[in-house]
Amino acid sequence: MGWMLFLGALLVAVAPALYIYFVPLLTPRLPTLENKRICLLIAHPDDEAMFFAPTVLALTKPETGNHVKILCLSSGDADGLGETRKKELVKSGMKLGLQQEQDVYVIESPDFQDSMTNVWDKTKIASLLGRAFAPQLARQRAAGEEPDANIDVLITFDSTGVSSHPNHISLYHGARAFISALSADPQWPSPVDLYTLTSVSVARKYSNFLDAIPTLFSWVTTAGSNPPKPPKKPKKEEDDSDDEDDDDEDDNYHPTALVFLSELGSEGGWATAWSAMTTAHKSQMVWFRYGWIALSRYMVLNDLRLEKVEDDAEATKA
C-alpha cells in the first residue's frame, strides 16, 4: 500500500512537468487548419470558453492565417441575463484570440430558447446556417452550379453534446443537415467541412491534462492515419505562383481528426482559457464553475472529428 501511495504521489508530481515539456514538441507535429474561414457554432455564451477554448486559441494564432468567427444561437437568457451574457461572450472571444468584436454573432429567436428541455429544430438551424453562409445555394442548385459558401469550416458539438445538453445536441443535427444540403448534388462535394468536438466519459472529462494520453492514443489508432500536411514549397524569387500553390494545398487538405493541446502556464494556453471564463463570464462564475475550469479536460485539450455527411439520409430527414 505504501508503494502505491508513493507511486501515486510521484505521478501527481511528475505528470504536469511531462505535459509542460512534451506539448511544445508535439503540437507542431499534429494536423491543424490554416488559411481557413472558420465558424464556431455554439448554443450559449460561455460554450466557447468552457468547451472549445483550446480549439479557438489554436486556430486564432496569427501564423495560421485563419479567420475565426463565433455564431451563438441564443443569448443564454434563461435567468434573464441575456444582454449581460452577450457582452461577456464578446469579451471572452477577444481574450481567446478573435480578430475583432464583430466576429461574434448572437441570435435571439423564439425558435432557439436556452433550456435544458428544449430540442431545437434541426431544419430551422440548417436554414439559418444556409442564409448566413450559403445564401446563393438555392440559385446555384437550380442552375446546376457548384455550391459555394463564405466559410470553409464549421465546428460544433458532437451527437452527445459533451454534457448531453439538448441545445448542444441540436446544433450537431442542424449542422449535419446544413452540410447535407450543400452536398445534395452527388457531383459536387460540400464546400464546408464539419468538425465536431468529441464527447468522453465522466472520468476522462474531469481528468484535465492527464486525458492527453488517451486522447492522443485514440487519435493515433482511429484517426491518426491521416497523413500530415505536406511541407510548403520553398518560394522562388519573384514567383507569385507559389502563393497560389499554397492556397491550393490548404483547400485540398482535410484532416480527419484534429487534436489541440494547450500549454498550462504560458500566454495563449490554459491560463488564458481560465481568464476567459473567470474575468469575461463573471455572471456565470458560481462555485461549481471553478471545479469545471480546474478539472475539465475541455479547458486544456480538444479533439475534433471530421464528419462525413454525403448521402446522409438521417441529416436530411425532416
Which grid coordinates belong to 190? 460540400
pLDDT at 235: 46
Mean pLDDT of all residues in 162-172 = 96
d(CA 72, CA 242): 37
User: pLDDT tens-digit profile of 223-253?
Assistant: 555 655 555 555 444 455 455 555 556 677 8
Q: How confident is the model at residue 298 (pLDDT cuts 50, 70, 90)?
A: very high
pLDDT at 60: 98
pLDDT at 102: 97
In the β-sheet with 257-261, what is the strand arrangement from edge to edge? 104-106, 67-72, 37-42, 153-157, 193-197, 301-306, 257-261
pLDDT at 236: 45
User: pLDDT tens-digit profile of 208-221?
Assistant: 999 999 999 888 88
- Between 3.40.50.10320, 3.90.1170.40, 3.30.2020.30, 3.30.428.10, what CATH number should domain 34-227+256-316 receive? 3.40.50.10320
**468522453: which residue's cell?**
200
- The answer on pLDDT for 54 being more than 70 is yes
**Average per-residue pLDDT in the chain?**
87
Q: Which of 32, 39, 53, 191 is nearest to 103 (CA)?
A: 39
Mean pLDDT of all residues in 105-119 = 93
- The answer on pLDDT for 140 being more than 90 is no
Mean pLDDT of all residues in 284-309 = 94
Q: Are the beta carbons of 196 and 307 closer than 8 angstroms?
A: yes
Question: Whole-model pTM?
Answer: 0.89
